[in-house]
Structure 1
Amino acid sequence: MPEYRVKLKKEIKRRIAFGHPWIYENEIAEEPSCENGSLVKVFTYSGQFVGKGYYNRNSLIRVRLLTRKNVNIDRKFFKDKIQRAYSLRTRWLKEKGAFRLIYSEADGLPGLIVDKFADFFVVQISTLGMSKFKETIVNVLIELFNPKGIYEKSEGSFIAKEGIEPYSGWLYGNGPNLIPFKLHEITFLADLHGQKTGFFLDQRFNAENLSEFSTDRRVLDLFSYTGNFAFHLLKGGAREAILVDYSERALAVAEEIARINSFKEKIRTINANSFDFIRNVKIGEFELIVIDPPAMLKSATAKHNALRAYKELNLRAIRSLKDGGILATSSCTQLIRESEWLEKITEAFKDSKKIGKLLFSAGQPFDHPALTSMHESNYLKFRSYIVSSVSEF
């Protein structure tokens, strides 16, 4: 693939110099005459080499850097990157049946997500530049891991903006629509017709840690999807779990997971909007409530409404807990900083006349690495609290 040249403006941003992989339209002095998705070499205004990446004039992020070295972007390049990512994961993972193998920019492969579920990989490609290397990536995954199948699940409005067609289907081999895999002695199902890559692996350790506090508690799992939290809490000893989600399909998959793990008699699924459901819950009805909503906003202009929604959710949940109950709450909205989110949780406790005592705080696991040079890679926020009335504290 031919490479073109991009020249930056005189005052190169410290963000780029210190490792951020994105170069915006207003940072470029001279743009290349090339097709979108082409490889480019990036230089400072004075001619110093910055790195290599791919270019798209349809995006405000004109260049996404793949490397700071002047190397060939070829099969060996992708093989080395994928092997390095795999080594970092498997060095510390106790359970290797399911994990995120590639997390986009955080693994030096912007626009690429690869999740492993048992003997299968699910690939998500979100940029035109990365889509040019799809065949190479698939061949490298086959060579390194010999999977039973590789499924691509590249969907969403951002795909069209990049100039690529959404696609869902098998790229290699074949397999079931519901891929069984093990997490912490529980059999889950990755739903290839569900959301994202079929399962949200980023909350699996938070769910396991929370399960230590679930013994004999009645649980409400809001925005449950297929029940990651609910089934971990049941495994930990919860006596009952109510799963609430707007997706009938997700709840049907959750019921199948319950059947497989002999939890069928301990769950109840409710197809409803979680915001509406929590408004009608009685005071003190539950002993553990999980709030795990999808991202609340896609642009900064709606931040006020998103923060108000976080406060409302947590306020309602706090009021629905018995004294001594546990609130487990999270946000995956990257555009909301942790300090802003925590402020709304604090306000929710104050307005409820309750006190929260922190059990543990967490974020995303190390197979979803957050870069110090790129705050956009750090998105997941998680807190769990014991809830008490002010008068009883």
Structure 2
Amino acid sequence: MEKVRLRANNIPRVESGHLWIYSNELAKVPSLEPGSIVEVFTNDGTSLGLAFFNPHSLIALRLLKISIVQDVSKVFKSRILNAKQLREKIFPTEHCYRLVYAESDCLPGLIIDKYEDYFTLQVNSAGMEKFIEKIVEILLDIFPKCKGIIAKNSTHFRTLEGLEQYEKVLYGEIPKEVIVTESGIKYKVNLLDSQKTGLFLDQKLNKRFIRRISGNLRVLDCYSNFGGFGLNAALGNAKEVTLVDISKSAIETARENFQLNGFKNGNFFCSDALEFMKKEFQDGKKYDLVILDPPSFTKSKKNIQNAIAGYRQINKYAMRIVAPQGFLATASCSMHIDEATFMKIIQDVAYSQKINLKMIYRGGQSPDHPILMSMPETRYLKFFVFQLS
């Protein structure tokens, strides 16, 4: 097995449990195939175990926490089993959840979402790409009732790894439409053609909080996608729910999801959310609860300032259409915008609008997306609910 040596005798970040080693931290970048498994040594010869190696990525090494004497496939199966047991402990009655969350489950670059008896895979590292067939085999062994597995490999991260983008059914059949239940709400999910991998599973607990406070409120759900927040508001006995999404297919699916659950209080608009809020402000319209759950505004640190400007703009207009003593629920899934930065954006906007904020809920990603404390990169979702006055 090829050996890769680091420049330094120790890297404090790695010693504390971080699993990435960057190309500029290697003594020499060997000419090996992307995705090769190598043994990693510090400069003084201390072994750090095995890692996926990619000479074309800034993240040159993804540590596996596996020694040279261990069988990689067997370790991966054990880790997927551990991940399954954790999710079943967290959500014993749920059948839709993130089964594997990459580095947080010590499976670098692998994301698996479970939708009842169907599974979606995202593979974001060249090393894990070589194990796709083995991962499918493991899933079929652990979940004998599995009906279908699809690879959703069309992510920005694959580009950084030098991997092709594709979507492919890996096992069984994936119907165009699957009806699943999350937190007591039925959803029509198109696993063959949907944002990310279908539902926004990371918002599970945040959606439940919205349900809790929506009674008798006029609710605006911006960037609604399939209607996750709006559906929870409807189940929570909202007076009316207005859903806005720029995608025609997404807003139609949201409408169908309302019908599927027997909710009759939904209004649906295919529109840019910011432009919709601007018009509502001009028309003097007010809502008791405005929900902002936009897609990520930046995929890299280079565009942070543009992202900050975007968050300021949408939160400004959201605050302008919240009724007195009403609520703003606002989220950011941009990894490069940390919680302190996002909080300051909201506070600055409120100050500029002469609005007082009272935080009543502080959330993040659902616990089936566990945060590896030694890797801040595994924490990305910020979610706050404020009362405005």
Which bracket does the TM-score occupy, shorter chain normalised?
over 0.9
Partner secondary structure for residue 29 of structure 1:
coil
Whole-Å Cα distance in 2 between the matches of residues 51 and 274 of structure 1? 48
The amino acid across from 1:326 in the alignment is F
Q: Residue 177 of structure 1 corresponds to which residue in structure 2?
A: 176
Kept in 1: contact 2:214–2:237 (CA 8 A) = yes
| Structure 2 residue runs without a partner (length 5+) | none
Q: Residue 240 of structure 1 corresponds to which residue in structure 2?
A: 240
Q: Residue 340 of structure 1 corresponds to which residue in structure 2?
A: 341
Q: Residue 319 of structure 1 corresponds to which residue in structure 2?
A: 320
Deviation at 1:255, TM superposition (A): 1.5
Deviation at 1:284, TM superposition (A): 5.1
| Structure 1 residue runs without a partner (length 5+) | 389-393
Deviation at 1:183, TM superposition (A): 1.4
Partner secondary structure for residue 168 of structure 2:
strand
Matched, 1:52 2:40: no
Whole-Å Cα distance in 1 between the matches of residues 318 and 160 of structure 2? 37
Deviation at 1:160, TM superposition (A): 3.6
- 1:298-317 residue pairs with structure 2 within 5 A? 298-317=299-318
Partner secondary structure for residue 324 of structure 1:
strand
TM-score (norm 2): 0.96
Partner secondary structure for residue 219 of structure 1:
strand
Whole-Å Cα distance in 1 between the matches of residues 307 and 181 of structure 2? 34
Q: Residue 227 of structure 1 corresponds to which residue in structure 2?
A: 227
Partner secondary structure for residue 280 of structure 1:
helix
Whole-Å Cα distance in 1 between the matches of residues 93 and 167 of structure 2? 28
- 1:66-81 residue pairs with structure 2 within 5 A? 66-81=64-79
Q: Residue 391 of structure 1 corresponds to which residue in structure 2?
A: none
Whole-Å Cα distance in 1 between the matches of residues 373 and 290 of structure 2? 32
Kept in 2: contact 1:284–1:319 (CA 8 A) = no
Deviates more, 1:227-236 or 1:33-42: 33-42
Deviation at 1:233, TM superposition (A): 0.7
1:93–1:140 CA distance, 2 compared to 1 (3 A)? same
Kept in 1: contact 2:243–2:267 (CA 8 A) = yes
Q: Residue 272 of structure 2 corresponds to which residue in structure 1?
A: 273
Per-residue deviation, residues 262-309 of structure 1 (Å, max 9, x unmatched): 12x311221111122111213451111000011111121221121121
Partner secondary structure for residue 208 of structure 2:
helix
- 1:119-268 residue pairs with structure 2 within 5 A? 119-146=117-144, 147-192=146-191, 193-263=193-263, 265-268=264-267
Kept in 2: contact 1:187–1:257 (CA 8 A) = yes
Whole-Å Cα distance in 1 between the matches of residues 329 and 150 of structure 2? 33
Deviates more, 1:220-229 or 1:155-164: 155-164
Kept in 2: contact 1:202–1:364 (CA 8 A) = yes
Whole-Å Cα distance in 2 between the matches of residues 85 and 344 of structure 1? 35
Whole-Å Cα distance in 2 between the matches of residues 286 and 358 of structure 1? 18
Per-residue deviation, residues 116-140 of structure 1 (Å, max 9, x unmatched): 0011111111221111000000000
Q: 1:90 aligns with which of 88, 91, 116?
A: 88
Whole-Å Cα distance in 1 between the matches of residues 370 and 253 of structure 2? 28
Deviates more, 1:148-157 or 1:193-202: 148-157
Whole-Å Cα distance in 2 between the matches of residues 198 and 47 of structure 1? 45
The amino acid across from 2:124 in the alignment is S
The amino acid across from 2:116 in the alignment is A
Whole-Å Cα distance in 1 between the matches of residues 85 and 63 of structure 2? 22
Partner secondary structure for residue 195 of structure 1:
coil
Per-residue deviation, residues 181-218 of structure 1 (Å, max 9, x unmatched): 11121101332201111111000110111211100111
Kept in 1: contact 2:90–2:368 (CA 8 A) = no
Partner secondary structure for residue 309 of structure 1:
helix
Partner secondary structure for residue 169 of structure 1:
strand
Deviation at 1:316, TM superposition (A): 0.9
The amino acid across from 1:348 in the alignment is V
Q: Residue 298 of structure 2 corresponds to which residue in structure 1?
A: 297
Kept in 2: contact 1:207–1:229 (CA 8 A) = yes
Whole-Å Cα distance in 1 between the matches of residues 63 and 226 of structure 2? 35
Whole-Å Cα distance in 1 between the matches of residues 62 and 315 of structure 2? 37
Deviates more, 1:270-279 or 1:108-117: 270-279
